[in-house]
Structure 1
Amino acid sequence: MSAAMTERFSYSLNATDGKARTGVISTPRGEIRTPAFMPVGTAATVKAMLPESVAATGADILLGNTYHLMLRPGAERVERLGGLHRFMNWDKPILTDSGGFQVMSLAELRKLTEEGVTFRSHVDGSKHVLSPETSMEIQRQLGSDIVMCFDECPALPADETTVAQSMRLSMRWAQRSRDAFGDRPGHALFGIQQGGVTEDLRGESAEALTAIGFDGYAIGGLAVGEGQEAMFGVLDYAPGMLPEDKPRYLMGVGKPDDIVGAVKRGVDMMDCVLPSRSGRTGQAWTRRGQVNIKNARHADDPRPLDEACACPACTGYSRAYLHHVFRAGEMISGMLLTWHNLHYYQELMSHMRAAIAEGRFTAFEAQFHALRAEGDIDPL
C-alpha cells in the first residue's frame, strides 16, 4: 500500500445557506467538491465519453456499478488488471453502488432471503449470490474509494408493512456490511437510509445506521416511482436525520430541478444516468430546460444549443449540425450531446456551490426556475 493510501477519508462542511450545504470530501485520490454530481459509468465507462472528457466537464468523482461489473468483465479480472481506476483510466475517486438496486429490478430472476439474494444474470443466465459479505468483497476487488452497503430497495408504491420489513432487513445487512468492510484506510463505507415515504421508518433507519457508524450516509429508496412531490416531502426531513458532519448522498437523482430541490434540502451528492442517456437519445439539458434536437425546427438553425455554454457542442457546432448528425445516426451526435449535458450538470453544481458559499442560494434558485419557465429560444 502506498503512503498516500494511508490517508483517511474526511468531510469538511464549509458553508450553509438555509439547509443547503457546501463542503469538500477529501480522499487519497483527490477532493470532491460538494454539492457533487457523479456521472454514471455503469460498465466502467460513461457512455459516449472518454474519461479525460468527463474530467474536463468538472466531475470530481464517477459512479461504477457493482452488479454489471461483477457479471462482465468480472471483479476478479478487474483486480488482476490493477483495479477499476487503472482499468478505465480514471485517476479520481470512484463510488461503487452495492448491486442492490439492480437486483431489485430483477424481481422475476431473483430469490431474496435473510442471507442475501440469489439471482440469474441478465447477460447469460448464470446463477450468482449477492450478500453483504460478497458485495463488500466485490467492491474491494474493484478498488473503489467509496463503497456502498448492500441493501434491499423496494419499488414504490408499496404498503408500509412491506417497506418496514425491507428497511429492517437492510439495517441488518448494514451491520454485516460494516463488519465485512473492516478497516480500510483511504476507503469509505456509506450506509443507506431506507423507509420509503414514512417519516417514522426513515427515523428508525437513521438511528440504526448512526449507531453502527459510517463514513457517509445515503438516502435510498427514492426516485423509484414515487414522484417529485413525494420525494421532496421525504427530503424535507430525511437529510436532517443523518449526521451533520458526514456527507449525505441521494441515490439515483435526477433531473436538474430534482437536483436543485435536493440541494436546497441538505443533500451533498447525487448521481443519475440521465445526462448521458438523454444525450444518446437527442435530448439536451440547458438553462432554459430541455431541447429535443430531433425536432425539425432545428434543421436550419445556425445558433448553438446555449449561447452561454462553453462546452464543445455549444462552442463549435450549430443546432442544425446537431440535428443533422442525430438524424443521420452518426456517433458524434451522442458524444456531443452527452458532453454538453454533463458540462451543464457540472456547471449547475458549481453555481450552487458558489451561491451557498455567498449566502444567495434563494436568489439562485429563483433565477434557475425563472429561466426554465421562459423555455427554449424562439425558432428562427
Structure 2
Amino acid sequence: MKDECVDKNLFTQLDHAFIRKEPFGVVLIIGAFNYPIQLTLIPLVGAIAAGNCVILKPSEVSSHTERLLAEALPCYLDSETFAVVTAGPEETGKLLENKFDYIFFTGNNRVGKIIMTAAAKHLTPLTMELGGKSPCYVDHYCNFQNAANRIVWGKFINAGQTCISPDYVICTVETQEKLMPCLRHAIREFYGTDPKESPDFGRMVNDKHFQRVRALLKCGRVAIGGETDERDRYIAPTVMVDVKEWEPIMQEEVFGPILPIFTVKDLEEAIQFINCRERPLAAYAFSCDDKVVNCVLDSISSGGFCGNDTVTRATLISLPFGGIGLSGFGKYHGKFTFDTFTHFRGCLLRCMGLEAINKVRYPPFDDKKLGIVVSALEIKRRGMCTLL
C-alpha cells in the first residue's frame, strides 16, 4: 500500500511524484452459488486489504452457506465497517438503489446487465465476473487419454457448475472417435460404474437448475450417461454428440454435467467457429504439437487460456482472473484483487519557489519556449520509447 515513486521528466526533477493507493470507499460484493465461500471471501479479503468498507451479499441460492456467512463473519469483522446482507432478487434490487463506490459481481450476464443498469445511475465502477461457453479444442495429434482425464475432471467437478469448466469440446469427427472411449474410461475411473453412488460426484444446486440442464438432453444424441433422478437432482456425467450449433446446448452456457462435442473439419474451422461467438471466460486447447496450442492461443480471444489442461490456471494467483466482453471485465486473484479495489491516485508535490523554471510555460509563447517545454516534458526510459 505504500506510495510508489515514478519516473519524472526534466521539468519535475526537483518535485515528488508518486502513486498513492487509496480505497474506493464502500464496496458491494455480490457472490455466486457455485463456489459460495471462495467467490465471496477472495474478493472480500482484497477489499479489506485495500482499506474499503464492505457490504457482502452471498447468493441466496446456496442458502446454507449464506446463513453460515451471515452468522460467522460478524464474529470476526468489525460490524461498523463490514456487513453481510441476506437477500433475494427483489431485496437485492432495493440494495442496488443505494450509492456504492464500487461493485464486484460474480454470476451470469443476464443478472450482470441488471446490476450494470443500477450502477450506471451513480456512475459506479464495476468488476463483472461472468461466464460463457468456454471452448475446448482437441487436436488429432494428442495423448487422448491424458486429455480425456483433464477434460472430465474440469467438466464434471462440482457437477459441471464451474464458470471456467470446458463448456464444449470442438474437434474433427476422427478425433471424436478416438476421444470418446477415453472419456468413457475417465468417467468410470473417477466416478465408478454408477456415478450416482460416487461420493465425489455432486448434484445440481436446486430444482430450477436441474430442470434447465435436463432439458438440454433433448439436443443432439447422448453418447455417454444421460441418466437423471429428479428427486435427487442428479444428472449423470454425460457426453453428447451430433449437436447442432443452433440447438440450446450450443447457444447457452451449460453450467451442468453435460459435455457436448461439436465437430468441424479442421483447426481453421474450429477457430472460425469460436471467433464467431461471444468471447468466453476461458479457452482450452489440447495437442502434442506446441504450434497447434499456440495457434489457438494467438487466434482467439478469451478471458484466460490454458493449454493441455483445464481449470488449473485459476489456481495460480500470479495470473489475473477475469473475463472479456460478455464474459465480464476486470480482474482479481492474488495482488490483482487488491489492485481491483484500489484507487491509484497520481500525486505531484512541488515547492513554492524556483518560479524562474516555470516561466517557459507562461505566455507570451514563442518557438524557443515551445522547444524547451517539449524537451523538458519528455520521460526517457532506457530500452523503451520516449513518451510525452
Instruction: Answer whether TM exceeds 0.5 for this pair.
Output: no
Task: Name whichever structure is richer in helix by fraction.
Answer: 1
Larger radius of gyration: 2
TM tier, smaller: under 0.3
**Larger RCO, structures 1/2 (Cα 8 Å, 6+ apart):** 2
Task: Using structure 2 for the length normalisation, give the TM-score.
Answer: 0.27
